Structure 1
Amino acid sequence: MDQPAIHPLTMDGRDPAALRGDPISGDRYTSREFMQQEWDHLWTRIWHVAGRTAELEEPGDYVVHDFRHESVICIRQDDGSIKAFYNACGHRGMRLTEGSAFAEAFTCPYHGWKWGKDGVLHYAQDPHDFPQGNPCGKLKLKELRCATWGGFVWYTMDDAAPALLDYLAPMPELYKNYPMDTGVRVFWMKINLNTNWKFATDNFSESYHTRTAHPQVPPWIDQDVDTARHEMYPAGHGRTVQPMRPSLSDRLPDGVPHPFDHILRQWDIDPDSYPDYETKAMQGWLDLKAAKRRLWRERGYVHYEHMDDEQITDSPHTVIFPNVTISFLPDNILFFRTEPHADDPGKCTFDLWCMAFPVAGQAEVESIMAGPQPFSEADMLWRDFDNGRGVPEIEGQIVYQDMMLAEGMQRGMHSRGYGDAYLSAQETRVRYFHEVLNDYLAGRR
Structure 2
Amino acid sequence: MGQPEKHPLTIDGREASNLRGDPITGDRYTSKEFMQREWDHMWTRIWHVAGRTAELEEPGDYIVHDFMNESVFCVAQEDGSIKAFYNSCRHRGMRLVNDSAASDSFQCPYHGWIWGKDGVLAYAQDSHDFPQGDPCGKLKLKELRCATWGGFVWYTMDENAPELLDFLSPIPEIYKNYPMDTAVRVYWLKVDLNTNWKFATDNFSESYHTRTAHPQVPPWIDQDVDTARHEMYPNGHGRTVQPMRPSLTDRLPDGVPHPFDYFLRQWDIDPESYPDYETKAMQGWLDLKAAKRRLWKERGYVHYEHMDDEQITDSPHTVMFPNVTISFLPDNLVFFRTEPHATDPNKCTFDLWCMAFPVAGQTEVESIMAGPQPLREAEMQHRIFDDGRGVPEIEGQIVYQDMMLAEGMQRGMHSRGYEDAYLTGQETRVRFFHEVLNDYLEGRR
Range of TM-score over shorter length? over 0.9
Contact 2:2 2:308 in 1 (8 A): no
Aligned to 2:331: 331
Give the 3-state SS of the residue equivalent to 2:410 in structure 1. Answer: helix
Q: What do residues 57-112 of structure 1 show as CA deviations (whole Å, max 9, x unaligned)?
A: 00000000000000001000000000000000000000001010001000000000
Deviation string 1:284-326 (CA, Å, 9 cap, x unpaired) is: 0000000000000010000000000000000100000000000
Aligned residue pairs, count: 445
Aligned to 2:44: 44
User: Which whole-Å CA distance do the structure 2 matches of 1:367 and 1:3 have between them?
Assistant: 26
- State the Cα RMSD in Å: 0.6
Structure 2: distance between partners of 1:348 and 1:2? 41
TM-score by length of 2: 1.00
Query: 1:231 aligns to what?
Result: 231
Q: How does 1:252-331 map to 2 (within 5 A)?
A: 252-331=252-331
Superposition TM-score, scaled by structure 1 size: 1.00
Inter-partner Cα distance in structure 1 for 2:297 and 2:5: 26
Once the two structures are TM-superposed, the CA of residue 2 in structure 1 deviates from its matched residue by 4.8
Matched, 1:136 2:136: yes
Asked whether the 8 Å contact 2:51–2:154 carries over to 1, the reply is yes
Superposed, which structure 2 residues align to 1:389-404 within 5 Å?
A: 389-404=389-404
| Structure-2 separation of matches of 1:135 and 1:422 | 60
Match of 1:6 in 2: 6
Q: Distance in 2 between matches of 1:443 and 1:180?
A: 33
Shift of 1:3: 3.8
3-state SS, counterpart of residue 227 of structure 2: coil
* Residue equivalent to 1:361: 361
Give the counterpart letter for 1:208 in structure 2. Y
Note the residue ranges of structure 2 that are not aligned, 5 or more in a row. none
> Residue 414 of structure 1 corresponds to which residue in structure 2?
414
Instruction: Tell me whether 1:429 sits opposite 2:410 in the alignment.
Output: no
Distance 2:242 2:93 in 1: 48
- The corresponding residue for 2:84 is 84
Cα displacement (A) at 1:223: 1.5
SS of residue matched to 2:300: coil
Q: Where does residue 99 of structure 1 map in the other structure?
A: 99
Matches of residues 53-202 of structure 1 in structure 2 within 5 Å? 53-202=53-202
Cα offset, 1:229, TM superposition: 0.4
| Structure 1 residues 213-265: Cα deviation after superposition (integer angstroms, max 9, x where no partner) | 00000000012110010000000000000100000000000000000001100
Q: Counterpart of 1:355 in 2: which secondary structure?
A: strand
The letter for the 2-side match of 1:349 is T
Structure 2 counterparts to residues 341-380 of structure 1, below 5 A: 341-380=341-380
Distance 1:369 1:4 in 2: 27
- Kept in 1, the 8 Å contact 2:364–2:375? The answer is yes
Contact 2:111 2:125 in 1 (8 A): yes
Contact 2:151 2:180 in 1 (8 A): yes
Gaps of 5+ in 1: none
Aligned counterparts of 1:118 and 1:376: Cα–Cα separation in 2: 30
Secondary structure of the residue aligned to 2:437 is helix
- Checking the alignment, whether the CA contact within 8 Å between 2:3 and 2:308 is kept in structure 1 is no
SS in 2 for 1:372: strand
Deviations 1:163-199 (CA, angstroms, capped at 9, x unpaired): 0000000000000000100000000000000000000
Supply the AA of the counterpart residue of 2:341. H
Aligned-partner residue type, residue 395 of structure 2: E
For 1:212 and 1:421, how far apart are their aligned partners in 2? 18
Q: Is the 8 A contact 2:219 2:252 kept in 1?
A: yes
Alpha-carbon distance in structure 1 between the residues aligned to 2:160 and 2:223: 39
Amino acid at match of 1:355: M
CA distance in 2, matches of 1:302, 1:404: 37
